[in-house]
Chain A
Amino acid sequence: MRSLLIRFFLSFWLIIGITIGAAAMGGYWYAQNVRDAYESFELGDSILDASAALESAGRDGLAIWLKNFPETRGLKILVLDRSGRDLLGRPIPKILLHQLDRRRHLMPPDGRRRNDPANLMRARPLSQLVGPDGRRYTIVVIPARGGPPARGLILALALLVSASVSILLARTMSRPVQKLRDATRALANGNFDNRVASSIGRRRDELGLLARDFDIMADNLQRSASQQIELSRNISHELRSPLARLRVALALARRKAGDLAEFNRIDEETERLDALIEQILSYTRLDSPAEHPKHLANLNDVIADVVADVNYECRSDGADTKSVVAEFSASIDLPMHVQSMKSAIENILRNAVRHTRSDTRVLVRLAYATRDQVNIVVDDCGAGVDEEHLPKLFEPFFRSRPSSEKEAGSGLGLAIARRAVEIHDGSISASNRVDGGLRITIELPV
């Protein structure tokens, strides 16, 4: 079907139409049945029993006969006395009372208007008996009250039809919607590769159009995301050349003019720019998970390598009094992209070493948190971070306090760490330790 509008319209129309039709046909069929029974009903030999009962026991005998008369589906047998009351005291339909009032005797239903349901309500006299006391009793048959017993059947039929059509309708809706939803979620998580149009079939309705629009949107997002990554890479690469020339020019100037304090400053700032470009490059590179294939590696080895590097850096930077200590309570093999895992741990450790006080140690621990999660916990002995700044710690270029230029990092270290952890489907969080210092926790699924 071409459009959802038509599909909905036809479905609802179909449901309502079938229900009405079923109800009408059911009603007709019932009426036909009852009328046939009503018209063909005869007392037969029972009339002799009735007569005998009346003969021997009078009115009461006739009442007992009536009580014992076998039930007939859809019909009711009444015995009326002259005053128009049923022998068993059963209520007499109003319309029958009118009939009695008007005519004082009973007539068969009008033959010309058999199909009028109102006729059904007319009592058809079957026989008249005269008791020993001379009283007359009329035996009549009327349709039982309470409506057609097929009402339940019609209701069930209507429910069945409407339910099955509705389920069909809902399924044609919900499947593609579910697919679209999955794809949208994947897109939100940065996976630009999902397309839906091919997976929901060749629909030409609004959902099919929506799926194709979704794909176009995903294409555009993917393109603009990759353009953005490409752009920041190009910017960083293009910055290299002037920076490289700047550094050589500076070295030449130093040679001609001798060592000036300003030269050192220029050197320092150039190096800072350099480091910043490096960090921006690694940060943008982490944006594309596809570029980070994972292989099984030992997490302990990775951490030990980084700890050795950071300690070596401490020694060569003259920060001899600080060090990093690793504690492993399990050996853990994980599928990982070793390079980015290393850079996550490295950035966290460097940050911790930068902020921990002299003569203190940074402690990194690796342990199972639950059966399917490992935690890497890094504790430093620094001043910690204001509580309200904790969640922002992993945002690019966020600084918790205006720190002196010397101790400041690039502002990207922890942001890089978070991206690298997220590539491994893990999460990273920061908290202040009870006994002072910052704790950074990496949670990784195993």
Chain B
Amino acid sequence: MQNGSEKSRLLLIDDDRELGDMLRDFLAPDNIQLQPCVSGEEGLAEHGRLGFDLIILDIMLPGMSGLDVLRKLREKSSVPVIMLTARGDDVDRIIGLEFGADDYLAKPFNPRELLARIKAILRRTHFTPENNGEHVFGSIAMNGSARTVFVNGNPLPLTGTEFELLRCLLETPGVVVSKERLSEQALGRRLLPYDRSIDTHISNLRGKLEKSGSGKESIQNQRGVGYVLTPNARRKTGPS
């Protein structure tokens, strides 16, 4: 998928230096240049100085925690972030996604899985899909090529993943989109069992839409099926 000449530049923030070195070697043949760094402060400084295409961030860092790094990062940058979380720690995972991470991977991860996720996110940011037209639904207006969303004429800042999710739902308003499809379209990967990332992203997106005052339009959950954008704001179920 990558252009032969164009290298993607990634930043890894993880206190395990050896892991960083090995990952750099592992990713190099796929035209991905990984720069490891071992602390949140250093990572933020490096990103401010060089600007990376994607950041891989370990949630458990000594000193400044991964979540703090993420929050700091999101204050000024919408760079895609993949979080590395602890096994079985759903709280970190959900908070991470709520803080604006694009995807997560439980550590220790399968490196091939990491590569697949990196590629999926890079693909999404490097190549805008063909159907990048305009979508208007009630008070929501999306410009696919400019990657902007307006609610009642006011710009709505969204992360890349939230943008893709909204695009998916806007393409077929009133029709239920399965979680599998949302995962493939917005995250660029297959839905995994017990994978709550779509639900978390959707709930973030829903929150942002509601806060921005998008009148009656709302995203509803069809249990066990998927999500649907409807013109009436009646929320059927609680948080899922």
Contact = CB atoms under 8 A, between A and B. Distances in A.
A236 B91 CA distance: 17
Interface in A271-296: 271, 274, 277-279, 281-282, 285
Contacts of A312: 191, 193
Interface in B70-120: 86-91, 106-112
Contacts of B16: 241, 244-245
A240 B194 CA distance: 21
B238 A301 contact: yes
Contacts of A113: none
Given A251-B111, A305-B240, A313-B194, A240 B86 contact: yes
A241 B88 contact: no
B18 interface: yes
Contact of A240 (B26, B87, B91, B111): B87
Contact of B223 (A247, A278, A301): A301
B193 A304 contact: no
A240 B25 contact: no
A308 B26 contact: no
A61 to B, nearest CB: 109
A248 interface: yes
Given A246-B108, A301-B238, A251 B86 contact: no
B108 A252 contact: no
Contacts of A252: 22, 25-26
Contacts of B112: 251
* Contact-size category for B: 20 to 34
Nearest to A310: B193
Interface string B19-38: 10011011001000000000
Interface in B171-203: 190-194
Contact of B108 (A270, A281, A309): A270
A57 interface: no
B238 to A, nearest CB: 7
A240 B26 CA distance: 19
A383 interface: no
A309 B111 contact: no
A198 interface: no
Interface string A292-324: 000001100100110111101100100000000
Given A247-B108, A346-B194, A237 B86 contact: yes
B87 A277 contact: yes
A278 B88 contact: yes
A249 B22 contact: yes
Contacts of A270: 108
Interface string B216-240: 0000000110000000000001101
B60 interface: yes
Nearest to B192: A316
Contacts of A243: 108
B111 A313 contact: no
B86 A247 contact: no
Given A245-B16, A248-B23, A281 B87 contact: yes
A246 B18 CA distance: 11
Given A301-B240, A304-B224, A309-B193, A248 B22 contact: yes
B107 A308 contact: no
Interface string A260-274: 000000010011001
A301 B111 CA distance: 35
B240 A279 contact: no
Contacts of A281: 86-89
A164 interface: no
B109 A247 contact: yes
Given A237-B60, A244-B16, A309 B194 contact: yes
Nearest to A233: B86
A339 B90 contact: yes
Contacts of B88: 277-279, 281-282, 285
Nearest to A326: B224
Contacts of B89: 281
Contacts of B23: 248
B113 to A, nearest CB: 10
A240 B107 contact: yes
Nearest to B25: A252
Contacts of B237: 301
Interface of B: 16, 18-19, 22-23, 25-26, 29, 60, 86-91, 106-112, 190-194, 223-224, 237-238, 240
Closest 5 CB pairs of A and B: A313-B193, A244-B108, A278-B87, A243-B108, A278-B88
Given A281-B89, A301-B240, 16 more contacts: A237-B60, A244-B16, A244-B108, A248-B23, A248-B26, A249-B22, A251-B110, A251-B112, A252-B26, A270-B108, A271-B110, A304-B224, A305-B223, A312-B193, A316-B190, A316-B192
